[in-house]
């Protein structure tokens, strides 16, 4: 595989309100290392759809905060392998009993860990269902990378 993937932690996400085009830039930059192909990984239509499906709160005065960006990152990664209904359940589980920051950071750490060691046992920071969902995402990313290496 090419370089190690780093998903920005909560503290690394912008701590100010962002307009849609700025959110798209942050998301596509963060997801670029695990995106195959030339098209952007995320579009405005996709984000609007996630809000309509109530996977995240609507923007406040057309601006999105850190919690929106974190949720969008989780949703976009889960979307590779799961249905919207499954994503909604897992995003709620990620944050159950902890702050959004703690849940998101646990998600990011588990994804990076499983990308480095796909056969590793589930981590202790995430509920089993969340870890299984992240493992599916990691497997999909690994497969896409392997196929891209074989067929450049």
Give per-residue pLDDT as tens, 55-104.
999 999 999 999 999 999 999 999 999 999 999 999 999 989 999 999 99
Give per-residue pLDDT as tens, 141-151.
999 888 888 77
- DSSP string covering 117-145: -TTSPPPSSS-HHHHHHHHHHHHHHHHHH
Q: Would you state the structure tokens that stand for residue 55, as one six-digit string?
A: 């996977």
Q: Per-residue confidence at 4, pLDDT binned at 50, 70, 90?
A: confident
CB 70 within 8 A of CB 104: yes
Residue 39 has pLDDT above 90, yes or no: no
Nearest to 31 by CA among 143, 139, 137: 137
């Amino acid at each position: 595989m090419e370089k190690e993937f780093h998903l920005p932690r909560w503290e690394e996400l912008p701590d100010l309100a962002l307009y849609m085009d700025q959110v798209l830039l942050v998301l596509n930059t963060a997801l670029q290392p695990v995106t195959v192909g030339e098209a952007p990984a995320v579009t405005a239509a996709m984000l609007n759809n996630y809000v309509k499906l109530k996977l995240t709160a609507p923007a406040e005065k057309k601006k999105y905060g850190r919690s929106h960006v974190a949720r969008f990152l989780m949703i976009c990664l889960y979307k590779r392998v799961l249905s919207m209904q499954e994503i909604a359940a897992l995003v709620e589980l990620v944050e159950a009993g902890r702050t959004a920051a703690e849940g998101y950071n646990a998600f990011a750490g588990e994804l990076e860990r499983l990308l480095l060691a796909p056969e590793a046992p589930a981590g202790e920071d995430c509920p089993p269902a969340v870890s299984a969902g992240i493992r599916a995402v990691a497997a999909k990313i690994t497969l896409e990378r392997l196929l891209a290496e074989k067929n450049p």
